[in-house]
Structure 1
Amino acid sequence: MSTVLRSDALLGGTLFSFARSIGQIILQRNAATGALVLAGVLCASPRLACGLLIGALAGKVVTLIAEPADSPAVRDDLYGFNGALAALAAFTFIRDTSQAAAVAILAAVFATMLAGTLARGLSRWNLPILSSPAIIVTWCWMPLLADRGEVGALGPVAKSLDALIEAAFAGLAPIVFASGALAGGLIAVGLLAARPARAGWALTGSALGAALHGLGGANDAVLLSGACGFNAALVALAAAPLGARHAFIGIAVAVVIERIADSAGIAALTAPFVLASWAVIALARRLEAASRNNVLHSRPESAVEP
C-alpha cells in the first residue's frame, strides 16, 4: 500500500509540475493556470491542444536529459513552455497534420535546447529568455514550410461596449495561437487563479494595446477580433511587478514594434513582447541604479562612512 501511495504521490507531483510548466506560457508558475490555459486552447481547437501537449512533453523530456535535476529550468518548471509554443506555431502555420506533428516535435526539441543556451547568455544582463527560443526556431522553418493560403476577410462588427469587452478577453487567446473570447476568458480565469491583479493587468494590456493599434490605423474588425492585444497583454504581465509606469511604457513599445513589423510584412509572433520586456527591465534597472547613486551623493559628508 505504501508503494502505491508513493507512486500516486509521484504521479500527482509530475502532473502538477507539468501543468505549472504550461502556466509559464503566461508567466505564471501555477498548476491551475496551466490547466485553464490548456482548457482554453482545447475549446478553441482540439488540434491545437494536441500540439500544445506534444510540445510541452518534448520540452520536458529534453530538459530532463540535458539539465541537472536541480537546475532552474527543472526547479521552476520552465522546461515546457517554449516547446509548447514552438509546437503550437507548427500546428498553426502548417495545415497537414502529419507534417505539423513532425515539425512540432523537432521545433519543440530545438526550442528547449536553445532555451538553455540563451538563458546562459542572457544571464550576463540578468534578462529572462521569455518566449525567444520558440520565436527563433519558428522563424527558421516558417519561410520553408509555412502554408500561405489566403486568409478570409473579417466580417463587419458592432462597436458596442460588449464588443469592446469581448475583444479585451479575445486579445489573450493569440498568446497560445488560439482565437475567441471563450479561450481568452479561460486564460483570464487562469491568471485570476494565480493572482487576481495579474488578470487585471493582462486585460488592461489587451485593451490598451488594441486602442493604440487603432490609433495606428488598424482595421476595426481586426481590433475587435482580439488580434491586436496579446503582445501588449504579455508585456503588462511581465512589467507590472516593476510598477505601473513601466507596464504602460512596455505596452507602448510593444505596439510600436508590432506596427513596424506588420508594415514590413514580418510575422512578429511574440517578439514585440520579448523586446519590449527586455527594454523595460533594462530601463527599470538603470533608473534604480541612478536613484541609488543620487541618494548616495545627496548624503551629508559627515554621514558617509570612511
Structure 2
Amino acid sequence: MSPIKQLIPFIKLVFRGLGQVMLQNNAVSGGLFLLAVWVSMPWQALAMLLGALLGSLQAKFCDYDQCAYQQGVFGFNGALVALGASFFYPDAMWVIWPAVIGFVFLATVIMAQCIKRQYSGLTSPFVVASWILLLSLAHFGIQPVSGVANIGWDWALPSVLQGTLQAFSQVFFQCNNLAGVLIILGLAINQFKATIITVLVAAAIALVMPLFGLSEPAMAGLLGFNAVLCSLVFANRKTLWPLLGAVLISLCFMLVALSLGITALTAPFVLATWLVLSVEKWRIYKL
C-alpha cells in the first residue's frame, strides 16, 4: 500500500473529529464544518484543522481508547481550543502558539480521562482548557480581542432567518449566514431528522427572544448556539421533555453569562446536558 493510501484512514479520522464538534461521526460533515469556517475566516479554519490533527495524533501515540479514537472523539476539543484561541487572539496567535498547543494537549488528556471513567465529557475539556488559557494569558497582560465579528463574505437576511443560521455558525465562533447554511447541510447529510428539529429550535429562539428586548444577541446567534448543541443531543428521544428541558436550561445559563459578562463558550450546553442526563438516569433508577 502506498504512503498516501495509508494516510487516507487517518485523514478521514481527523475530519470525523471536526464533525464531532457537533456530535457527527461523519468525515463529510466535518469537511463541511471546516468549509463553513473557511468561507468566513480561512486562517481560523486552518487553526481548527491543526487542533483536530494535534489531538488525533496525541490520541494515536498515547494509545488512548481505540474505539473513541477511530470515531474522531479526541480531535474535536483540540479543534475548538485552537479555533477559540485564533478567534480571541487574532493578532497574537504567532506569539501564543506554543501555549495553544499545550492547551490542546490538556483538552485531549481531559477527554481521555472522561472516556476512561465513562463520563460524558462533551465539550467540557475545551471549556476548561480555554478558560485556563484565557486566564493565563490575561495574567501576562495578553488580553482577548473584544467585538470581533467573523463575517467574511456574506449576505443580509431577515432577522429571524439570520438569527437561526448564526445560531449554527456561532458554534464555530463565526457570525456568518453562509457558514450557517453549510453547517446545517453538514448536519443534514448525517442526521436529517435531528437537523430539522434543531433548526426549529434555533428559529424559535430567534423569533421569541427579541420580544424580551434581546434582538441583538438573538440575531447574532449568541442565544441559540448552546441550544443547538443541546437539541442535537436530545432530538431523537421518544419524549419531548429532555429536549425542551436542556434547551431552556442552556438558554437560562447563557442569559446569566451574558448579563455578567462571562465568556461562557459551550459551558451552558455542557451543564444543561449533564443535568438532563442526570435526571434521566435518576428516573430510570427510580423505576
TM range (shorter): 0.7 to 0.9
CA separation in 2, counterparts of 1:288 and 1:30? 31
Q: Which runs of 5+ in 2 are unaligned?
A: 150-155
> Helix, strand or coil: the match of 1:266?
coil
8 A Cα contact 1:90 1:103, kept in partner: no
Structure 2 counterpart of 1:194: 190
Matches within 5 A, 1:84-233: 84-95=79-90, 96-121=92-117, 123=118, 127-145=119-137, 147-149=143-145, 151=147, 162-211=158-207, 213-214=209-210, 217-218=213-214, 220-233=215-228
CA separation in 2, counterparts of 1:272 and 1:162? 27
Bigger Cα displacement from structure 2, 233-242 vs 183-192 = 233-242
8 A Cα contact 2:169 2:176, kept in partner: yes
Alignment counterpart, residue 246 of structure 1, candidates 242, 247, 264 = 242
Structure 1 counterpart of 2:38: 42
CA separation in 2, counterparts of 1:172 and 1:152? 17
CA separation in 1, counterparts of 2:278 and 2:68? 23
CA separation in 1, counterparts of 2:211 and 2:67? 41
Task: Provide TM-score, normalisation by structure 1.
Answer: 0.83
Structure 2 counterpart of 1:29: 25
CA displacement at 1:274 relative to structure 2: 0.4
Cα deviation digits, residues 156-203 of structure 1 (max 9, x gap): xxxx98331222011101111122111111000000111111221221
CA separation in 2, counterparts of 1:112 and 1:29? 17
CA displacement at 1:34 relative to structure 2: 0.3
Bigger Cα displacement from structure 2, 19-28 vs 59-68 = 59-68
273 and 134 in structure 1: CA distance in 2 versus 1, 3 angstrom threshold: same
Q: Does 1:76 align with 2:68?
A: no
CA displacement at 1:224 relative to structure 2: 1.3
8 A Cα contact 1:171 1:225, kept in partner: yes
> Helix, strand or coil: the match of 2:261?
coil
> Helix, strand or coil: the match of 1:241?
coil
Structure 2 counterpart of 1:257: 253
55 and 152 in structure 1: CA distance in 2 versus 1, 3 angstrom threshold: closer
8 A Cα contact 2:226 2:268, kept in partner: yes
15 and 184 in structure 1: CA distance in 2 versus 1, 3 angstrom threshold: same
137 and 152 in structure 1: CA distance in 2 versus 1, 3 angstrom threshold: closer
Q: Does 1:276 align with 2:272?
A: yes
Task: Provide TM-score, normalisation by structure 2.
Answer: 0.88
Which residue identity does 2:216 align to in structure 1?
Answer: A
Report % sequence identity. Answer: 28
CA separation in 2, counterparts of 1:201 and 1:215? 22
CA displacement at 1:30 relative to structure 2: 0.6
> Helix, strand or coil: the match of 1:179?
coil
150 and 169 in structure 1: CA distance in 2 versus 1, 3 angstrom threshold: closer
CA displacement at 1:77 relative to structure 2: 1.8
8 A Cα contact 2:29 2:186, kept in partner: yes
Greater Rg over alpha carbons, structure: 1
CA separation in 2, counterparts of 1:169 and 1:152? 18
CA separation in 2, counterparts of 1:117 and 1:257? 26
CA separation in 2, counterparts of 1:105 and 1:148? 17
RMSD: 2.2
CA displacement at 1:12 relative to structure 2: 2.2
8 A Cα contact 1:55 1:88, kept in partner: yes
Cα deviation digits, residues 200-258 of structure 1 (max 9, x gap): 1221232234456445542x123112222100000010122334321111100001111
How many residue pairs align between the two structures?
275
8 A Cα contact 1:239 1:280, kept in partner: no
Bigger Cα displacement from structure 2, 170-179 vs 137-146 = 137-146
Which residue identity does 2:232 align to in structure 1?
Answer: L
Matches within 5 A, 1:48-59: 48-59=44-55
> Helix, strand or coil: the match of 1:139?
helix
Alignment counterpart, residue 8 of structure 2, candidates 12, 29, 33 = 12
Bigger Cα displacement from structure 2, 33-42 vs 191-200 = 191-200
Which residue identity does 1:229 align to in structure 2?
Answer: G
CA separation in 1, counterparts of 2:4 and 2:144? 47
8 A Cα contact 1:212 1:252, kept in partner: no
CA displacement at 1:152 relative to structure 2: 7.6
